[in-house]
Amino acid sequence: MKAPPVDYVRPRSLTEAVGLLAHASVEARVIAGGQSLVGMMNLRVAAPGLLIDIARLPELLTVADHADAVTLGACVTHAAIEDGRVADPSHGLMPRVASTLAYRAIRTRGTIGGSLALSDPAAEWPAVLAALDAEVVLSGSSGRRLLKCTEFTTGIFQTKLAQNEIIESVRVPKLSAGARCGYVKLCRKSGEFANALAVVVADPRRGYSRVVAGAANGAPLVLGDASHLVAEGPHDPDTLRGTIGRDLDRASDRHFDEFQRNLHTAAAMRAVQQALL
Amino acid sequence: MTAIHLHVNGAAIADDVPPRLSLADFLRERRNLTGTHLGCEHGVCGACTVFVDGEPARSCLMLAVACDERMVETIEGFADDPVIAALRRTFHQRHALQCGYCTPAMLITARDLILRKRAGSEREIRDGLAGNICRCTGYTNIVTAIAEAAKEIGKEAPNAQ
């Protein structure tokens, strides 16, 4: 189908974009790569009155390489991350994730900020950024605020992004030397949305470890006991499987059926083994 | 209506378009470039893939207004492109198409894979084609044709890829 009628504006600065968003008299939506939004408009699932195009705002394309973190502008594309055209704080985890995300022709336009803003439950970045303990920088008419990615996504397509706010950047802590990662995406065809995602980050030097399940019927799910187990080092498979299973069962609000529970367990097991082997 | 200025297959174009118009419909309906096909119109089938600023993109998921000041290349613009010429030949020789609906975008996607050196093995080619659906061939001949074209291009210009 075709998208419904809409107005369009391309502001020249982030301040102008935030102003337009705050003062719009119709439902205004920010568009960056548009790889989800235009599809949703074509399917008539979304029908905004005004599109505010931020894809080329220089403030949102900036990448800053700090001593302890990398800040990626919200409009950095998946392809730029895949190709290593931007600094990588994650020892190759982020480029690897990017290369599994949809298809190249989508990755060249889709952005990391757009993925977070939509927070599709099956999307890669919300889970991966939660596992990396990243923060999101939000810009609104009353100023700027910082939120942990683990707090930012609150549910299925639900975030703490206010109507007058735009994601400005993502701040990803740098992994220390010797940190290990695991990433497993289970889906039936390369590039499809995940049926289960598991991300593991183990960074002993910073005393940090986290196991996150994505595509988990809600916001990315931090598997707390499994995270502690990973910090201790390799364990036998039965202990690991039992711990992951208990973590999943505790999240009773996710209503995993047996198939999903097995899928998430398998993904998490493999990701932990990748990280610790 | 919004005024846009862009390059399509090397030619400077100025037009007034409604913001909801997709790049695909702009190319097909306004420029008569009907080699770009529309299948699903939500980014899954890949039939509408074109190059935007030198990178492959779904023309059904890009608004024409967002292509203001950008450079768009469609299958019609690659008549003299050496990679597309090689692909055209191997697709013909290997019978890599039946109905032809997916073919223009298969060529566009294959060109990108070859130029980025992502067509070195069957696995790599199949991975790179995951976003382009063909309902006729079963892909085998498409994969073979791309592998042969990649080899040919690599031999002709090993440093120019």
Task: Return the pLDDT at A158.
Answer: 98
Residues B8 and A52: their CA atoms lie apart, in Å, by 24
User: Which of the four pLDDT bands, split at 50, 70 and 90, describes residue B156?
Assistant: confident
User: Chain A: nearest CA to B82, how far in angstroms?
Assistant: 21
**Strand residue runs (E) in chain A:** 7-9, 28-31, 50-53, 63-65, 69-73, 135-140, 143-148, 153-155, 158-159, 165-173, 180-186, 196-203, 208-214, 221-222
Contact A35 B68 (CB under 8 A): no
Mean pLDDT across chain A: 97
User: Chain B: nearest CA to A146, how far in angstroms?
Assistant: 29
The model's pLDDT over A131-146, given as tens digits with 9 standing for 90+, comes to: 999 999 999 999 999 9
User: Chain B: nearest CA to A219, how far in angstroms?
Assistant: 24
Q: Identify the domain containing residue A249 by its residue range.
A: 180-276
Residues A93 and A47 in one domain: no
Strand partners, A200: A182, A211
**Structure-token match 């065809």, residue found:** A189
Helix, strand, or coil here: A233? Answer: coil
Residue of A7, A57, A100, A106 to mutate, interface with B, max B Cβ within 10 Å: A106
The CATH code of the domain that includes A33 is: 3.30.43.10
The answer on pLDDT for B161 being more than 60 is no
Is position A1 within any domain? no
Q: Which residues of B touch A106 (CB under 8 A)?
A: 43, 58, 61, 131
Q: How many residues does chain B have?
A: 161
Q: With an 8 Å Cβ cutoff, is A10 touching chain B?
A: yes
Contact B46 A103 (CB under 8 A): yes
Helix, strand, or coil here: A18? Answer: helix
Are B11 and B1 a contacting pair, CB within 8 Å?
A: no
Task: Return the pLDDT at B158.
Answer: 57
**All structural domains of chain B:** 2-77 (3.10.20.30), 80-156 (1.10.150.120)
Q: What are phi and psi of A204, to 5 degrees?
A: -55, -35
The CATH code of the domain that includes A102 is: 3.30.465.10
| pLDDT one digit per residue (tens) for chain A, 277 residues | 899 999 999 999 999 999 999 999 999 999 999 999 999 999 999 999 999 999 999 999 999 999 999 999 999 999 999 999 999 999 999 999 999 999 999 999 999 999 999 999 999 999 999 999 999 999 999 999 999 999 999 999 999 999 999 999 999 999 999 999 999 999 999 999 999 999 999 999 999 999 999 999 999 999 999 999 999 988 899 999 999 999 999 999 999 999 999 999 999 999 999 999 7
Q: Centre a 10 Å sphere on the Cβ of residue A270 and count the other Cβ atoms it contains.
A: 16
Mean pLDDT across chain B: 96
Are A14 and A58 a contacting pair, CB within 8 Å?
A: no
User: Chain A: nearest CA to B94, how far in angstroms?
Assistant: 25
Q: With an 8 Å Cβ cutoff, is A177 touching chain B?
A: no
Contact A5 B18 (CB under 8 A): yes
A242 class by beta-carbon count within 10 Å (0-12 exposed, 13-18 middle, 19+ buried): middle
**Strand residue runs (E) in B27-90:** 49-52, 55-58, 71-73
Contact A31 B66 (CB under 8 A): yes
Is position A2 within any domain? no
For the CA atoms of A132, A60, A98, A50, what is the dihedral angle to 10 degrees? 110
Q: Which residues of A touch B52 (CB under 8 A)?
A: 108-109
The model's pLDDT over A15-25, given as tens digits with 9 standing for 90+, comes to: 999 999 999 99
Which two structure tokens, joined as six digits, stand for B21?
């118009």
Contact A42 B58 (CB under 8 A): no
Residues A149 and A241 in one domain: no
Are B8 and B26 a contacting pair, CB within 8 Å?
A: no
